Structure 1
Amino acid sequence: MEDLLIQHVNLEKSENQERHRTEGFSSSKALVVRRGAPFRVSLQVEGRPFNPSTDYLMVKVMLGRLYARMPVTYSKKVSSSSWKAYIDPQDLNVHNPSIFISSPASASVGRYRFQLCVISKGGQQRSAFGKFVLLCNPWCREDAVYIPFEDQREEYVQNDSGLLFMGTAGNTVSRPWSFDQFEPGVLESCLNLLQVSPQHQKNRRLDYLNRNNPVYISRVVSAMINCEDDRGVLKGNWSGDFKQGVNPSMWTGSGDILRQWTESAYHPVKYGQCWVFAAVMCTVMRVLGIPCRVVTNFNSAHDTNANLVIEEYYSEMGQKLKHSKDSIWNFHVWVECWMNRKDLGSGMDGWQVLDPTPQERSGGVFCCGPASVKAIKDQRIDLLYDIPFVYAEVNADVHTFIVSQGRVVDHSKDTERVGSLICTKAVGFPRLQNITGDYKYIKSPTSTLTSRSSTASDDSTVRRASSSKGVLVFLALDKAPLAGEPVSFTVKVMNKQSVAKRMKVHVNAQAKEYNNSPSDTFWETHGIIQLAPKEVEVVRQQILPAQYEDVVGDNLINLAVVLEDMANHERFLASEEFNITSPQLTIQVSDESSIVPNKEQTATVTFTNPFSHMVSGVLTVAGAGLIQGKIQFRMLPLSPGGIVKQRITFSPTMVGAKMLQASVFLTNMNTTIRGFEMVFVNRA
């Protein structure tokens, strides 16, 4: 009788990846499947047919040196807690038998090998080998990362583009970002990240065992995105000097960063800031199958001494001073991942904060989280991980002092500025979703364009230094500032007393980076106003484009007004930090209804110079699933108000909603203008 020989193992890649919703990883050579669900492999046999009565099949699945061995049964009943292999008796082809391998919903994530053995009568044994990548499964109810709505799984796992929100709470800017999780090499980089981690290098067996738990995985990834303690992906730089690498503002997606890291033998990529760290982490988590979204906290407190108080100091002329180690970032970006938290007890499942930007150590390592958002809202600072730090980021009070000749002459407190807006991209739409209420109990809605005042009304949380003060001062922008237009604002002064007052008025503007104290004053004005008893005086001011364009660029402005009562020398402060938004590039895609894979399409990118002087720069166009790599064009000098149009061609490779994004880096201003257009690629 002829021997049974295994000629070939077919991993049935396209069928399995469609069933496991991993078809986006088609550029990878590996079979990519999700835990908690069976996948099919088929044997091509030679010699004689497979005989289910006399031939016995065994499967051995290996992750590093860990393994599970199981007989192949003829029962389709699988277990959510153990490995299982079976043949469907209704669909047995003796020349090409199919074996289904099913992993538990708590299997470890990673690169697996498997061995398929056929043991025949007489003890003859034939083996074949294969490989697969196993990811978490948010479609599986038993998986700790199960998220119950399909539109959320599409957004938080499958969507390869998104928006990062920056600027200020009153004037948010949406920056397009390409997560690139299905681009060539990205899956491999994310799996390599787990292998390069200190946890894996220290104890491979324990690391593989722990990779069943998304809490563990997320802490490893949070630490590995920065390079402070390990061979992590990104080096942070907030100095303003990026000559040794790439300005963080220039990155448009995660793929370039992850590939560069892998190709450099895991040397950190230079440079990242908070939104880059967060966006790259979002890519890694989505690749690993853990639902993830990027979140922005506006007016994010960095409370260095953990007293939930941020101190700010101003001079009597309205200049913000660098007197405190505490700081408030105009925005800070982190991620949330969706998972069960059995380690915390009931009620703490769902979204968890993870912050890969290196700020504070957690367990001796620069990482943060996962901190349950529900625990942050409920002030459960006794729970793991890093809840006190995140709680302070969204809840600290701001104490503001005016200093004159080395002594404090005014003090006020603001309990609403920190964490004034926490947001993420909406599910299925390119717009902002306000999630502040997930983190904190909202007292009452407040206008985001009306500024803080040290002497606001009694029902405000901004308190007067003493009840004897008889003057209120408010500072308000007339509208959200736009590049190329004057910054118009109003100072309103109210005399609450029955005596006339003579007041010195000092208005001061300083450029600032989102995460730093302001630099020197670039614009100021001083004057004196007379206030009759109970009078309200309104002063309108403008900062002209020519006065701010050279200093602001991608930075923000700290604007402050200090009033001094010339009779008793009492001071009163109001301040506002704001960004000046640049108009977006416009992208017009021709014949949008007929976009299908592998068919050349055209689009036109239009840029209008909004500035009061000539500009020149480089236009870059990119789009995961639409364009391989990037297309760049050098832009000739363009006069104020001038318009340039650039026609581009692209050939989509993937179906679904894809983001075409463009940016112009203005070399003579160190400023980037961006735009994006969502393109829907239909099946051919």
Structure 2
Amino acid sequence: MRITMEFGPTPSITKGTKAVMLATFGDKAESCGGRWDAVITNLNENDIVLEIASPSNCPIGIWRCSVITGLIENKRMVSIKKVEEDIYMLLNPWNKDDNVYLSDEAERNEYVLNDVGKVWMGSYKEPKGRRWVFGQFEDVTLPCVILLLELSDLPHEDRGNPVLIARAISAVVNDADEGGLTIGRWDGNYADGTSPHAWTGSLPIMEEYMNSGGQPVAYAQCWVFSALTVTICRALGLPCRTTTNYVSAHDTNSSLTVDKFFDSRGEEIVGGPDGSCHDSCWNFHVWNDVWMSRPDLPQGYGGWQIIDATPQEMSESLMRCGPASVEAVRKGQVGFMYDTPFVFSEVNADVCHFREDTQSEWGFSRSRMNQYHVGRRIITKRVDVDDDVGDSDMWDVTVEYKSPEGSREERMAVFNAVKGVDRAQMLYDFPNQGQEDVFFDLIEIDQIHFGQPFSIVVKIENRSNEVRNIDAVLTANSIFYTGVTVHRLKRAEGHFQMEPNSQQTLKCEVLPEEYEPKLVDHSLIKIHAVANVTQTRQTWSEEDDFPLIKPPLDIKIEGNTVVGHPCTATFSFTNPLDKPLTNCVISVEGPGLQYPKILKTEDVNPRGSFTYSESFHPRRTGERKFVAAFSSDQLADIFGSISVSVSAP
């Protein structure tokens, strides 16, 4: 008896995509030295029980199996039986010989087996975890994942290499190159598709993709790309988690800095002086960490690796990113593959503010380098903790990616990275401009609920023994979470004199009626302050952003939560705005409870209550999650979840 295993369009023994085994008698099949093994473990008159062991570096995907039998006495009597069922080969984090081996059982349960988790959004001061149903064990998931791998440029013989698999995944989740899974959109116009805020899990996206014959699904943003990546990786056996970086730099010119330019009136110059600088700071950005060894890097750089499926910058001619070693990012080793300089800048770039200056040789002078702005906080879900109401399951992993801000280790990592990037070196050698004897402090805003006013407050202290004349500009804008300005909410400017060793406070109040009509996705507001001291040419600028706090979506379950018995879930919240909510949509989903639904509902009156009920019959026992999200033209991303314990009838 011989067993043949084949993979891909042109199976080859030398490339590891074909194996031929002679079945022998034994207790257990064991793969040794990268070889396949086939063992007959039981034999009777009617049945042969055969066990096959694959090598730990076996390419993953759909394999085809053939069984060849014959008689020793008559070699011409040969029968070939092709196994009709597809055989899915996956990575194995339980196998010590596999490059994705994860020794901790609790971590395997979280990063491979958990099919419901959280993606963190909000701001670094108010992180907010949003439930997501990953659904890696649903029927449609694995076929969809294999189809996406077929779209990638990854040769079949390389599909046993987790490094290259992860890199391919980061490319096919977005549609930028291969016509991948989802289409990204950030302008707030989702009329011809589904708003990113309406999704509650990966299953409806994958179903739509497969039912449409592989047409990319509209629409996604970074947290949707990241959640889909978790589904794909966990389905393949690759340990994966979503990770959120608050105040995430997007360095478009490989300088390891985020450069912003302002004119003499304190207005930002979009694109910089020559229109080619589009650096930005995203309020938050969600990527993924995958666990694997890195035999292609020096020892000590395995473990968590960053991949990013959000299409931002080209990497080797495709929109993809990673895997970049977390340890390499922490140490500033930007020469290690893949895309480490870009990821390093996301968490550790310095912010450069330049203001128009007629006395400068190139027309601008640097206001300051803000070393405490980027990578404020890096968050993921805590292992073995789950919280439907609050965020006690949040885990701050910032120290895994960077040393404490301002510490010697952090500055050394930055300078180590700068040495490897020519364009960055000139920015880090800029001389200080002018004498600085006036202290400015923009007071950060913590929590503002919808319907409340807020104020831009700057405290100023003249620490010199002379009079100082100061020009100041305060602005507030609504922004997308990518940092792009959408609407001006308010602007105030003034010129005033400060006596020696004196203090003064500037304040600009913004009322609800001034900001509510101009809010966009995530209801984010950026405040900005710019000041100039006439006598010393000292310039200063600072910025801060914050989301308006939204009401939670309350969920109540009625009925006996027993398999097959009727139950009702009721979803409710109160509209915090003085205007109606229109084009309302609610999405509900619960693995083992309710198949995903996206439904249009009635408008919600100003300051009125929203209530919606959904009947369901539990299908599976155990601890289950019900997840829901509400969105409208005026208010999006109202979400909630609840745990439901289902018993057998």
TM-score normalised to structure 2 length:
0.85
Distance 1:644 1:136 in 2: 45
Given residue 369 of structure 1, which amino acid in structure 2 is its aligned partner?
G
Given residue 62 of structure 1, which amino acid in structure 2 is its aligned partner?
E
3-state SS in 2 of match to 1:61: strand
Residue 400 of structure 1, CA deviation: 1.0
Q: Give RMSD over aligned pairs.
A: 2.9
Residue 318 of structure 1, CA deviation: 4.3
Query: CA distance change for structure 1 residues 377 and 638 in 2, over 3 Å: closer, same or farther?
Result: same
Alpha-carbon contact 2:478-2:524 (below 8 Å) kept = yes
3-state SS in 2 of match to 1:615: coil
Residue 183 of structure 1, CA deviation: 2.5
1:175 maps to 130
Alpha-carbon contact 2:122-2:547 (below 8 Å) kept = yes
Matched, 1:79 2:31: yes
Distance 2:357 2:643 in 1: 53
Deviations 1:471-518 (A, max 9, x none): 222122453222232224532222212345565543211111122432
Q: Which deviates further from its counterpart, 492-501 or 577-586?
A: 492-501
1:325 maps to 278
Q: Which deviates further from its counterpart, 335-344 or 262-271?
A: 262-271
Distance 1:115 1:564 in 2: 78
Alpha-carbon contact 2:200-2:587 (below 8 Å) kept = no
Alpha-carbon contact 1:504-1:565 (below 8 Å) kept = yes
Query: CA distance change for structure 1 residues 396 and 231 in 2, over 3 Å: closer, same or farther?
Result: same
3-state SS in 1 of match to 2:226: helix
1:525 to 492, 502, 512: 492
Matched, 1:194 2:168: no
Q: How many residues align?
A: 599
Query: CA distance change for structure 1 residues 574 and 343 in 2, over 3 Å: closer, same or farther?
Result: closer
TM-score normalised to structure 1 length:
0.80
Distance 1:337 1:574 in 2: 35
Query: CA distance change for structure 1 residues 59 and 420 in 2, over 3 Å: closer, same or farther?
Result: same
Alpha-carbon contact 1:163-1:177 (below 8 Å) kept = yes
2:525 to 525, 533, 557: 557
Alpha-carbon contact 2:198-2:630 (below 8 Å) kept = no
1:575 to 538, 543, 548: 543
Unaligned runs of 5+ in 1: 1-56, 200-206, 446-460
Deviations 1:426-469 (A, max 9, x none): 22334321111111111469xxxxxxxxxxxxxxx9x9955633
2:457 maps to 490
Distance 1:464 1:61 in 2: 65
Distance 2:173 2:555 in 1: 32
Query: CA distance change for structure 1 residues 234 and 405 in 2, over 3 Å: closer, same or farther?
Result: farther
Query: CA distance change for structure 1 residues 639 and 229 in 2, over 3 Å: closer, same or farther?
Result: closer
3-state SS in 1 of match to 2:338: coil
Given residue 59 of structure 1, which amino acid in structure 2 is its aligned partner?
I
2:351 maps to 398
Deviations 1:237-294 (A, max 9, x none): 3344434433333333222222222232223223332222222222111111101111
Alpha-carbon contact 1:412-1:464 (below 8 Å) kept = no
Q: Which deviates further from its counterpart, 371-380 or 178-187?
A: 178-187
Matches within 5 A, 1:193-592: 193-199=148-154, 207-322=155-270, 323=272, 324-403=277-356, 407-408=363-364, 411-428=367-384, 429-430=386-387, 431-443=393-405, 466=433, 468-499=435-466, 503=470, 505-526=472-493, 531-539=498-506, 541-554=508-521, 555-565=523-533, 571-590=539-558
Residue 674 of structure 1, CA deviation: 1.6
2:7 maps to 63
3-state SS in 2 of match to 1:394: helix
Matched, 1:606 2:562: no
Query: CA distance change for structure 1 residues 491 and 208 in 2, over 3 Å: closer, same or farther?
Result: same
Query: CA distance change for structure 1 residues 671 and 535 in 2, over 3 Å: closer, same or farther?
Result: same
Q: Which deviates further from its counterpart, 258-267 or 343-352?
A: 258-267
Residue 682 of structure 1, CA deviation: 5.3
Residue 655 of structure 1, CA deviation: 4.7
Residue 596 of structure 1, CA deviation: 4.9
Alpha-carbon contact 2:581-2:606 (below 8 Å) kept = yes
1:134 to 89, 94, 98: 89
Unaligned runs of 5+ in 2: 12-16, 388-392, 408-427
Q: Which deviates further from its counterpart, 629-638 or 552-561?
A: 629-638
Deviations 1:103-161 (A, max 9, x none): 22221111122223443465454554433211111111111111111111111111222
Given residue 116 of structure 1, which amino acid in structure 2 is its aligned partner?
V
3-state SS in 2 of match to 1:515: coil
Q: Which deviates further from its counterpart, 463-472 or 431-440?
A: 463-472
1:30 maps to none
Residue 60 of structure 1, CA deviation: 2.3
Query: CA distance change for structure 1 residues 58 and 571 in 2, over 3 Å: closer, same or farther?
Result: closer
Distance 1:514 1:409 in 2: 28
Using the aligned pairs only, state the percent identity. Answer: 32
3-state SS in 2 of match to 1:619: strand
Query: CA distance change for structure 1 residues 301 and 284 in 2, over 3 Å: closer, same or farther?
Result: same
